[in-house]
Structure 1
Amino acid sequence: MDKILTATFLLLGLHLEKRDQQQVRQSPQSLTVWEGETAILNCSYEDSTFNYFPWYQQFPGEGPALLISIRSVSDKKEDGRFTIFFNKREKKLSLHITDSQPGDSATYFCAAS
């Protein structure tokens, strides 16, 4: 029986000097995929001085935990089923979760510093 996975994606922007401005944008706000499909989360940022981009995963009742991160010197980072694709010129990155599993249902945060 196929299972539907639902994940909520929020944003977390980290920048000490410009706290009042939204520096990181994330889409989609929510995503539902079938088990085994690839989920893609997109993130964009404004400040070209950002060079560290972590993604966090948070399960209900728990705090956020670092899932995977990338530095601006790389254009791709893989860790198991999780891959970040980074485009410095366009100030965008995406998290791809391949072979989605029920245990992937969580809230995901993109951050930048």
Structure 2
Amino acid sequence: MDKMLGASFLILCLQVNWVTGQKEKSDQEQVKQSPRSLTVQEGEISILNCSYEKSAFDYFQWYRQYPGKGPAFLIAIRSVVNEMKDGRFTVVLSTSAKQLSLHIAASQPGDSATYFCAASAQCSPGTCSLYPNLQPGLQTHPEVQMKYTHIHVCAKKVLIEEN
């Protein structure tokens, strides 16, 4: 009679696909998002980074979009604050480095989605450049710059058998 000893391990892999986005007339990207790929175990923290070029940007938002759904606001931060937390989501902003990051604590398979990093500026008419929208159907203020990545969290079950 054969004995079977099974052990299963749950591994989450987050794959972030870089998608080309907006460019200013000078052909320089205003918002960049990274990493291109990320692998974490369930329960670990996931970090998405976003950098921007315009010093005028003073309001930063993260959106999450599930397949077949519209983008939904996730969390935002103003340039006068260094950190904003809401549940498992934390945004850390460094205006001197022109960078912000989204930290997702205790990563779960339900975190699979497309995440949008957006930056906008408060300005009077005629003082800001107008940028076309990145995503059809996603209505944003004309001065908003967005970049997005797709995160796929997959659960992989590894079975070890012994006869």
Unaligned 5+ runs, structure 1? none
Cα distance, 1:7 vs structure 2: 4.6
Give the CA RMSD over aligned residues.
2.2
Unaligned 5+ runs, structure 2? 1-8, 121-163
Cα distance, 1:32 vs structure 2: 2.7
Q: Does the 8 A contact of 1:54 with 1:66 survive in 2?
A: yes
Q: Once superposed, which parts of structure 1, at least 4 consecutive aligned residues long, lie more than 4 Å away?
A: 9-15, 18-21
What residue number does 2:47 align with? 40
Cα distance, 1:30 vs structure 2: 3.1
Written as runs of structure 1 = structure 2, the 5 A alignment for 1:1-113 is: 1-8=9-16, 18=24, 21-113=28-120
Over alpha carbons, which structure has the higher Rg? Answer: 2
State the TM-score, normalizing by the size of structure 2.
0.61
State the TM-score, normalizing by the size of structure 1.
0.86
Cα distance, 1:105 vs structure 2: 1.2
Q: Does the 8 A contact of 2:22 with 2:29 survive in 1?
A: no
| Amino acid corresponding to residue 68 of structure 2 in structure 1 | G
Cα distance, 1:8 vs structure 2: 3.0
- CA 54–61 in structure 1, closer or farther in 2 if over 3 Å, else same: same
User: Deviations for 1:4-42, whole angstroms, at most 9, x for unmatched residues?
Assistant: 142536579789xx4664200000123232110000000
Q: Does the 8 A contact of 1:11 with 1:110 survive in 2?
A: no
Cα distance, 1:3 vs structure 2: 3.5
| Amino acid corresponding to residue 60 of structure 2 in structure 1 | F
Count of aligned pairs between the two proteins: 111
Once residues 112 and 11 of structure 1 are traced to their aligned partners in structure 2, the CA distance between those partners, rounded to angstroms, is 17
Once residues 87 and 5 of structure 1 are traced to their aligned partners in structure 2, the CA distance between those partners, rounded to angstroms, is 28
- CA 9–69 in structure 1, closer or farther in 2 if over 3 Å, else same: farther
User: Deviations for 1:25-76, whole angstroms, at most 9, x for unmatched residues?
Assistant: 0001232321100000000000000001000111111111111010001000
Once residues 84 and 22 of structure 2 are traced to their aligned partners in structure 1, the CA distance between those partners, rounded to angstroms, is 21
